[in-house]
Chains A and B, each alone.
Chain A
Amino acid sequence: DTEVTQTPKHLVMGMTNKKSLKCEQHMGHRAMYWYKQKAKKPPELMFVYSYEKLSINESVPSRFSPECPNSSLLNLHLHALQPEDSALYLCASSQRSGGVEQFFGPGTRLTVL
C-alpha cells in the first residue's frame, strides 16, 4: 500500500465548531507532515512529526492542534477557526527524516464560515 489517505475530503465548519482532520499511511513511514495551501499560493509547512514526536511547529496558531497517536496516523484537531483558515490541508509522509521522497495525500478542503 503506497497511499496516504485523508478524511474527510471536504469539511465545512463554523467558527465555534470543533472538528478533526485525519491522515493515515501504511507504508511504515516514520515522518509525517501537515501542510496548508491557500488559493494560488504554494503549500506551506505547518507541523512535522518524527517517530511520533512533534519535531517542528512552524509558529502555527494554537487553534490548530496536531496529534500523532501511532506511527500510521496523524490528526489535526481544529477549534475556533477563522474564515481565513479556509484552505486545502495536505498530509504527507516519508520513510525517514531528511532528503527523501515525501508521499502526499489528496488533501482536505476546509471551509470556515
Chain B
Amino acid sequence: ILNVEQSPQSLHVQEGDSTNFTCSFPSSNFYALHWYRWETAKSPEALFVMTLNGDEKKKGRISATLNTKEGYSYLYIKGSQPEDSATYLCAFHQMYSGGGADGLTFGKGTHLIIQP
C-alpha cells in the first residue's frame, strides 16, 4: 500500500494572503506527481503533472515544486481569492514495469477555505 500524505487536512486563509501545503509520497519507483483542484459537485481539475526532481511549475497565482529524492511536493497559492476555495489533491504515479496504463494513488487532500 502506497502512503501519500497531505497536510494540513484543512486550512482557513484570509483573502489576499498567500498559503502553501504539502504532499509527501514514496521516494522509490517515482514516475510522476499530480496536483488536482476539486470543487464540490465538479470534476477534479488537473493543475500540474510533475516528473523531474527540482521541477517548478506555475499556473497564474498557483505554483508547485517537487523533490523526488526526499518525496515531497509543495503547492503555493499567492494572493488567495475566494474562488481558490476547493480541495487540493495530490496523486502519486508509480513507475509501472509491466507496461500498460496504471492509476494514481491519491492523498486525502487539503481543504482550503478563503475567507473574504
Complex-state Cα separation, A100 to B34, whole angstroms: 9
Contact across chains for B101 and A55 when beta carbons are under 8 A apart: yes
Partner among A4, A48, A103, A105 whose Cβ is within 8 Å of the Cβ of B101: A48
* Chain A: minimal CB distance from B23 (Å): 11
Residue in A closest to B106 when the chains form the complex, CB atoms: A42
Contact across chains for A45 and B43 when beta carbons are under 8 A apart: no
Partner among B32, B105, B108 whose Cβ is within 8 Å of the Cβ of A45: B105
Which chain A residues border B51 with CB–CB below 8 Å? Answer: 99
The bracket for how many chain A residues form the interface is: 20 to 34
Which chain B residues border A106 with CB–CB below 8 Å? Answer: 41-43
Contact across chains for B42 and A101 when beta carbons are under 8 A apart: no
Contact across chains for A33 and B103 when beta carbons are under 8 A apart: yes
- Hey, what's the 0/1 contact readout for A1-30 against B, CB within 8 Å counting as 1? 000100000000000000000000000000
Which chain A residues border B104 with CB–CB below 8 Å? Answer: 43, 45, 102
